[in-house]
Structure 1
């Protein structure tokens, strides 16, 4: 299989695996569900695109069209992860609590007449800038290690 694609997939997997112990350190509870969550440290999106661009830089050179494409698309993905997706997550939090706020404005106490929605919208969509940076560092390391480990 394509070594560059395998490197990116491996970086994404490592980033997702790291979310479990990092969340456990933060909360004191081991939550294997973190393995499948979006958001939090490190950004698997950033790790994947950065490892791909790094591998290509070592393999084809920084002046190659392949590296330029991987870098530009990677920058777009990382910008989106910490910008647009994070803003969408923050908006979702507000939407999920809108019913409760309407009850409060109407003079009712939440919990009496307010019934929580059975299914809330997913609130964790994007990344903080430091999570994107953490994923990018992980990706650069993974891309470099993968290149030198598989170099023929």
Structure 2
């Protein structure tokens, strides 16, 4: 069993999701989108990271292992947070920014959370990265 996969799989999933998000945002903005790097957007980096680890554990140890149960639980918590709590924070930032406009205050980042499609794309990236890395390590 390739122990190094536990280290590199989430990193590669994060890298693939981040590069994909940068390319997608740059195409949408019709310029290099360095200002859009961070939370929010398609695909979800957080979802890619946690789903890559859950998939890796499922492939190497099976879905009946305790480690897979823990990884799946963590993945659900991260994805629920990305979809609900962080989106609410973004809505609050929008309202605060409207209040701050009159005072010319610093504007808060409004795009923080993820839609279900963005989370689903992150899951897809994570699953594919884990699958490909396991297939290449055999």
Q: Same fold (TM over 0.5)?
A: yes
Aligned residues: 136
**2:56 is matched with which residue?**
55
Are residues 120 and 32 of structure 1, via their aligned partners in 2, closer, same or farther at CA, if it must alter by over 3 Å? closer
1:116 paired to 2:118: no
Q: Please, what TM-score do these two structures have when normalized by structure 2?
A: 0.91
Q: CA shift at 1:99, angstroms?
A: 3.9
Any conservation in 2 of the 1:96–1:121 contact (CA below 8 Å)?
yes
1:70 paired to 2:57: no
**1:6 is matched with which residue?**
8
Q: Per-residue displacement from partner, 1:100-150 (whole Å, max 9, x unpaired)?
A: 4xxxxxxxxxxxxx4411x22222211111100000011110111111112
Please provide the CA RMSD for this pair.
Answer: 1.5
Moved >3 Å (runs of 4+): none
- Mapped to 2, the partners of 1:37 and 1:23 lie a distance apart of 11
Any conservation in 2 of the 1:5–1:52 contact (CA below 8 Å)?
no
Q: CA shift at 1:33, angstroms?
A: 4.0
Q: Please, what TM-score do these two structures have when normalized by structure 1?
A: 0.83
Q: Which of these two proteins has the greater Rg computed from alpha carbons?
A: 1
